[in-house]
């Protein structure tokens, strides 16, 4: 699938994500909007996955460590055919399998339960190490938030990945510069990430994480080391009043804001 096609799908996913947040009265829309371009590139271009066989051993693995943006993953999985598209309307409703954090026991295409931050990358390191031990050729991808990188468990996993030579592992840091309640620079500012990851023995690529022409080649890059993509993104990307505003970590648009956001996303088409 080419860049223009991927951009069109990403706009559709943003549109449905916005609608679903308003329908549910909850979500983490800022971080969802920053991550959607990368999710689109993964599921519609890069990952070897089979929606009708979600657990086939040959599949590539993707772990959404920043599990609070589960809705963006659900919409992407639905668009890709893992779950019915109409099921997105059940997000957070009683008895729905689409919970606020991904559940691998309920949702096809979800590789592991996430939500507590700092867990996804260590699990992904285990998946990549397992592939090395068994001779499997699948690739493991994991997306963390930049605020999440403040968790010490991530740096232990980064060290282990280099020690094990996990060149079948790609870490994507959604570097949107904001976390719950504050900006990254006003809490525990680990940026810049590139020299830190390189010091641990990783290859590092820095990209605009909301530009498909940069996302795709970075995701497809292979080398002799574990690979980190520092994806510079915008919180609330695509919606002017949300963009780069800490309030929109998990705020829900009112009806006037919803109409403005719909209009802006429609104009982008």
Q: By C-alpha distance, which of 48, 40, 104 is closest to 75?
A: 40
Beta bridge partners of 105: none
* DSSP annotation of 54: T
pLDDT of 209 over the 80 cut:
yes
Tokens describing residue 74:
């659900």
The answer to whether 127 touches 61, Cβ cutoff 8 Å, is yes
pLDDT tens sequence across 66-103: 999 999 999 999 999 999 999 999 999 999 999 999 99
Residue 265 has a CB neighbour count (10 Å cut-off) of 20
Percent of the chain whose pLDDT exceeds 90: 90
Name all domains of the chain by residue range, CATH numbers in brackets.
3-267 (3.40.50.970)
Pairing verdict, β 61-64 and 227-232 = unpaired
Q: What is the pLDDT of residue 186?
A: 86
Q: Scanning the structure block, which residue is given the tokens 């592991």?
A: 112
Stretch (H or E) spanning 80: helix 70-80
Q: What is the pLDDT of residue 1?
A: 86
pLDDT tens sequence across 12-46: 999 999 999 999 999 999 999 999 999 999 999 99
């Amino acid at each position: 699938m080419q860049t223009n096609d991927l951009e069109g799908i990403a706009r559709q996913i943003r549109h449905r994500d916005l609608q679903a947040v308003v329908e549910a009265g909850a979500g983490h829309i800022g971080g969802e909007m920053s991550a959607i371009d990368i999710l689109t590139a993964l599921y519609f271009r890069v990952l070897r996955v089979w929606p009708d066989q979600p657990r086939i051993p040959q599949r590539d693995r993707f772990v959404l460590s920043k599990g609070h943006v589960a809705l963006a993953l659900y919409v992407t999985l639905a668009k890709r055919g893992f779950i019915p598209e109409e099921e997105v309307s059940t997000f957070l409703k009683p008895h729905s399998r689409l919970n606020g954090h991904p559940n691998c026991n309920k949702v096809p295409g979800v590789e592991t339960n996430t939500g507590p931050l700092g867990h996804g990358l260590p699990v992904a390191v285990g998946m990549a190490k397992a592939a090395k031990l068994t001779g499997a050729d699948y690739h493991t991808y994991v997306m963390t938030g930049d605020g999440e990188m403040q968790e010490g468990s991530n740096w232990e996993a980064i060290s282990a990945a280099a020690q094990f030579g996990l060149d079948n592992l790609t870490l994507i840091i959604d570097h949107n510069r904001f976390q719950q309640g504050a900006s990254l620079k006003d809490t525990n500012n680990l940026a810049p990430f590139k020299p830190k990851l390189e010091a641990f023995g990783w290859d590092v690529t820095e990209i605009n994480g909301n530009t498909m022409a940069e996302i795709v080649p970075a995701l497809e890059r292979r080398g002799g080391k574990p690979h980190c993509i520092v994806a510079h993104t915008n919180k609330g990307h695509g919606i002017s009043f949300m963009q780069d505003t800490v309030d929109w970590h998990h705020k829900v648009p009112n009806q006037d804001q919803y109409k403005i956001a719909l209009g802006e996303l429609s104009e982008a088409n």
